[in-house]
């Protein structure tokens, strides 16, 4: 579902960033640089690897937790390794991984032997070793009653219009197109939502596009307002702007708090990050993956 509402609801004066809010502005990388923000810790309880879904349900890419793992190319040991498949709908199923022929660039690719028959509605986003991660079920915008979905989109547009880093004049006042929004339980008595939102400048030559991935919360009490607690913003031409995806929300290890697994598909190569909630209610990016080895000629 794609819903659009005007974003001109913001006040003239932008509010200061509230407490416990993390702002991450994602800009298109320079074509001659594959650098991203420094890595944050990957913990032992996060498992030995992360697998990200490929274009086909039976394909995936193994992402090493640390840059120094790139020497071994992050390939899990063993000819057939068990994993649990997780997505925005919760736990999708189980599978075993089989490495494919090593690639000259990029992270290792694997084929999945699925233990369950997965339909299109059971699309998975990430996989971990069994027992490492538990999926947090998300309620998609499509499952809401029409009045509730329109109200949520209006609330998101109002909230996004007031973000303090909305500083590019071309996008101000343009409608927000909600490409996806998913509600979840962030904590007892606290509702959460993660949303993928776009804005476009429809000029004929080099149309521009802005993409946002945002996590917001509100109390469960009637009339409570949504507060944006973490967001990533990418801007660029329609052809080159970085894609921002909510792959899944999980809990890892002994954690009681949810963690967003976010995917970034940039010109310099794809990368992932874990954005975790803590006991204070703040959401922070605590791990960012290394960039995959570059391919000759820029191919990925």
Question: For each of the chain's 300 residues, which pLDDT tens digit applies?
Answer: 555 544 443 333 333 445 566 667 654 443 333 344 444 588 989 998 899 998 888 899 999 888 766 544 445 555 678 999 999 988 998 999 988 766 777 788 899 888 865 554 568 999 999 999 999 989 998 888 888 899 999 999 999 988 887 777 778 778 888 999 999 999 999 999 999 999 988 777 778 889 999 999 999 888 899 999 999 999 888 888 999 999 999 999 888 899 999 999 988 788 999 999 998 999 999 999 988 777 665 544
Between vectors from CA 137 to CA 39 and to CA 230, what angle results, nearest 5°?
40
pLDDT of residue 117: 58
Q: What is the CATH number of the domain that holds 68?
A: 2.40.10
Is residue 7 domain-resident? Answer: yes
| Residue 120 structural domain | 47-131
Domain membership flag for residue 39: no
The DSSP bridge pattern shows strands 227-237 and 176-187 to be unpaired
- pTM of the model as a whole: 0.84
Whether residues 208 and 92 fall in one domain = no
Residues 57 and 21 in one domain: no
Is 41 part of any domain?
A: no
In a shared domain, residues 160 and 184: yes
Would you state the pLDDT for residue 203? 74
Q: Does residue 114 share a domain with residue 91?
A: yes
End-of-domain residue from the set 131, 158, 183: 131
Domain termination site, one of 116, 131, 146:
131
Q: What is the pLDDT of residue 197?
A: 94
Phi-psi group of 260: left, alpha or beta (phi > 0 → left; psi -120 to 50 → alpha; rest → beta)? beta
């Amino acid at each position: 579902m794609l819903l659009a509402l005007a974003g001109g609801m913001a006040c003239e004066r932008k509010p200061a960033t509230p407490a416990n809010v993390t702002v991450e502005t994602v800009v298109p990388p320079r074509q001659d640089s594959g650098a991203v923000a420094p890595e944050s810790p990957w913990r032992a309880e996060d498992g030995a690897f992360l697998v990200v879904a490929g274009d086909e349900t039976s394909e995936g890419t193994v992402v090493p937790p640390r840059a120094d793992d790139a020497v071994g190319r992050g390939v899990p040991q063993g000819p057939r390794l068990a994993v649990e498949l997780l997505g925005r709908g919760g736990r999708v199923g189980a599978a075993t991984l089989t490495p494919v022929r090593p690639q000259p660039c990029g992270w290792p690719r694997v084929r999945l032997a699925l233990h369950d028959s997965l339909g299109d509605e059971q699309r998975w986003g990430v996989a971990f070793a069994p027992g490492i991660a538990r999926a947090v079920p998300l309620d998609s915008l499509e499952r809401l009653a029409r009045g509730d979905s329109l109200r949520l989109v209006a609330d998101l547009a109002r909230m996004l219009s007031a973000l303090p880093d909305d500083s590019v004049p071309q996008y101000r006042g343009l409608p927000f197109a909600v490409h996806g929004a998913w509600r979840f339980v962030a904590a007892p008595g606290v509702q959460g939502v993660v949303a993928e939102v776009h804005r476009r400048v429809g000029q004929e030559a080099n149309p521009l596009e802005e993409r946002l991935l945002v996590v917001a919360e509100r109390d469960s009490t009637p009339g409570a307002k949504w507060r944006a607690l973490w967001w990533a913003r990418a801007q660029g031409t329609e052809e080159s702007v970085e894609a921002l995806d909510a792959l899944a929300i999980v809990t890892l290890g002994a954690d009681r708090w949810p963690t967003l697994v976010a995917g970034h598909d940039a010109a310099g190569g794809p990368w992932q990050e874990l954005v975790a909630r803590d006991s204070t209610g703040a959401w922070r990016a605590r791990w960012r993956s290394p960039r995959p080895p570059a391919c000759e000629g820029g191919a990925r």
